[in-house]
């Protein structure tokens, strides 16, 4: 592909976000960037249900999880994702202390949509053992 966008490494994404506008914006933006949003959920329980149900069909490539949810914890979602081998990027106002053990990176809110896409690309490159070309501001790659 000479001038088109390269296909994302982490294509199938589960969004766990309880702020409706942020969730909608992320879903819309990521779809336009070539990602397939498997689901957008706002509770720990719903995220866990989807992670446990993924054993058949196409696997989830990445979980974007807010840490503080109105109903549950993104940290618990990250623990469950880790048990199934699904990488997590925390998208949150405050990155938890134990984030390094649970996630591939942490993107601080508020963030620009372009920074979200660049954070996912950086995480994908790192996970594939490739050189990380750009780490956006507000993103810590572990």
Give me the CATH number covering residue 125.
3.40.50.2300
Q: Which residues contact 30 (CB under 8 A, 6 or more apart)?
A: 13, 15, 37, 116, 117, 120
Neighbour-count burial of 51, counting CB atoms closer than 10 A to its CB (0-12 exposed, 13-18 middle, 19+ buried): buried
Q: What is the pLDDT of residues 69-102, one digit of tens each?
A: 999 999 999 999 999 999 999 999 988 888 889 9
- Determine, yes or no, domain membership for 121: yes
- Determine, yes or no, domain membership for 118: yes
Domain range for 78 is: 12-141
The total number of structural domains that make up the chain: 1
pTM: 0.92
Closest CA to 112 of 91, 126, 128: 91
- Determine, yes or no, domain membership for 64: yes
- Determine, yes or no, domain membership for 7: no
> How confident is the model over 29-49, as a mean pLDDT?
97
- Determine, yes or no, domain membership for 39: yes
Q: What is the pLDDT of residues 13-30, one digit of tens each?
A: 999 999 999 999 999 999
């Amino acid at each position: 592909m000479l001038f088109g966008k390269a296909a994302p490494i982490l294509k199938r994404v589960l969004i766990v976000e309880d702020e409706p506008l942020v969730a909608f914006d992320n879903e819309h933006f990521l779809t336009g960037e070539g990602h397939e949003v498997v689901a957008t959920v706002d509770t720990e329980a719903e995220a866990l249900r989807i992670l446990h149900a993924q054993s058949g069909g196409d696997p989830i490539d990445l979980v974007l999880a807010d840490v503080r949810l109105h109903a549950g914890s993104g940290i618990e979602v990250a623990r469950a994702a880790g048990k199934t081998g699904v990488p997590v990027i925390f998208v949150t106002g405050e990155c938890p202390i134990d984030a390094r053990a649970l996630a591939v990176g942490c993107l601080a809110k508020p963030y620009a949509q372009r920074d979200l896409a660049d954070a996912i690309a950086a995480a994908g490159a790192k996970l594939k053992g490739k050189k990380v070309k750009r780490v956006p501001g507000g993103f810590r790659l572990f």
